A = this chain, B = another copy of it.
Amino acid sequence: MKNFKNIEHIVFGRGSFNTLDKILNPHRNNNDEFIFFVVDNYFKGKELENKIPSEKKDVIRFIDVDPYEPTTEQVDQLRDEVLKNYGLPAAIVGIGGGSIMDIAKAVALMFTNEGSSVLYQGLDLIKNPGVFHIGVPTISGTGAEVSMTAVLTGPEKKLGLKCDWTIFNQVILDPDLIATVPHDKWFYTGMDTYIHCIESENGIFNNALSHAYAEQSLKLCRNIYFGDGQTPENDDKLMIASMMGGLSLTYSEVGVCHALSYGLSKVFGTKHCFANCVIFQHLDDFYSEGVSEFKQMLNKQNIKLPVGLSKEWSDDQINTMSEIAYKLSHMWRHAFGEDWQKRLSIDKLKELYKRM
């Protein structure tokens, strides 16, 4: 029975980003006395950039997360560069979407754990607690702000650095920060939450705790995506839905869609939330009600997802994806039970990928 670590502190509300300075102050004199900010490149030159409470010694890196999902190599380089030029940060602040959250969590751990992050992809492989790290989500849905994993794509696998120390010490949930998310991204990331809940609910690890969080998160998702869409009130709701969906999967597990999605992202670099949406539409035989509702939300929000992708894929690529997905045994165990290997084969996975 797992003993779950919580985020240590949460502040929620419009304008809560302005409390970051006060939150950082007691930490400023730790280690080599500078704050390391990891910020989504989207905010370069935007209003938020001026609001970052950085001081003279602090280090800011703007990262373009659009070209690919966070990689082990990227995290290692970032750590090495900062360590060499500035030393050990007093604290790390990630300001961005799920990719930035994962980079901030992973870097925080890699500052205090030797060697490449590739060594630590898996459960409880990290040896030392990381640097104090703060998550400030500017896109909601991935649940990366609450989850105990920092998902990285490595040379061999897409898998998280997963342990108690991965979890943020502090999270700042300011709904103002997600107000300008483009409509399509807003949909894909919100649907990541929706899929988290559907998968968390449908499997052997679901329990009263994960269920209560999933139920409320799903209610919020329906309010938003069948309702008025991107409004300030719905931004509040989406931020909470993302958190609760993230907690639901933490207390339970994800399933079929996430396993397939990891394979797809590993081979084609497809962004996580978009990959989930592309896949989920084809999973009616596993999550019939969820998929049907998902399609209604697609319509309501005027989102068109690509189909027929697999026509362009080689057998090799489909094989590789299927093998990557098959290895995610914790997800399959949840979705299909202890005897999942009797119910799932590589061939079945190939068939699923060919539906895309």
Q: Provide the bound-state CA to CA distance between A8 and B164, in Å.
A: 10
Once the chains bind, are A12 and B239 in contact (CB under 8 Å)? Answer: no
Stretch at the interface among A47-55, A112-120, A212-220, A344-352: A212-220
Contact of A6 among B2, B8, B16, B19 (CB under 8 A): B8
Q: Which of A224-259 contact B (CB under 8 A)?
A: 233, 236-237, 239-241, 244, 251
A123 at the interface (CB under 8 A from B): no
A222 at the interface (CB under 8 A from B): no
Once the chains bind, are B212 and A220 in contact (CB under 8 Å)? Answer: yes
Q: A8-B8, A212-B244 are in contact. Are A15 and B3 (CB under 8 A)?
A: no
Once the chains bind, are B15 and A1 in contact (CB under 8 Å)? Answer: yes
Q: A6-B6, A6-B7, A6-B8 are in contact. Are A215 and B208 (CB under 8 A)?
A: no
Q: Which of A194-211 contact B (CB under 8 A)?
A: 207-209
Q: Provide the bound-state CA to CA distance between A9 and B15, in Å.
A: 28
A241 to B, closest residue via Cβ: B212
Q: Which residues of B contact A3 (CB under 8 A)?
A: 9-11, 19, 23, 170
Q: A216-B212, A237-B208 are in contact. Are A5 and B12 (CB under 8 A)?
A: no
Contact of A12 among B6, B11, B209 (CB under 8 A): B209
Q: Provide the bound-state CA to CA distance between A133 and B212, in Å.
A: 26
Once the chains bind, are A12 and B244 in contact (CB under 8 Å)? Answer: no
A10 to B, closest residue via Cβ: B4
Once the chains bind, are A12 and B240 in contact (CB under 8 Å)? Answer: no
Q: Which residues of B contact A6 (CB under 8 A)?
A: 6-10
Q: Which residues of B contact A244 (CB under 8 A)?
A: 212
Closest chain B CB from A203 CB (angstroms): 15
Q: Provide the bound-state CA to CA distance between A16 and B2, in Å.
A: 9
Interface residues of A (CB under 8 A from B): 1-13, 15-16, 19, 23, 170, 173, 175, 207-209, 212-213, 215-216, 219-220, 233, 236-237, 239-241, 244, 251
Pairs across A and B, CB under 8 Å, 11 listed: A3-B9, A6-B9, A6-B10, A12-B207, A12-B208, A208-B237, A209-B240, A212-B237, A212-B241, A215-B219, A216-B216
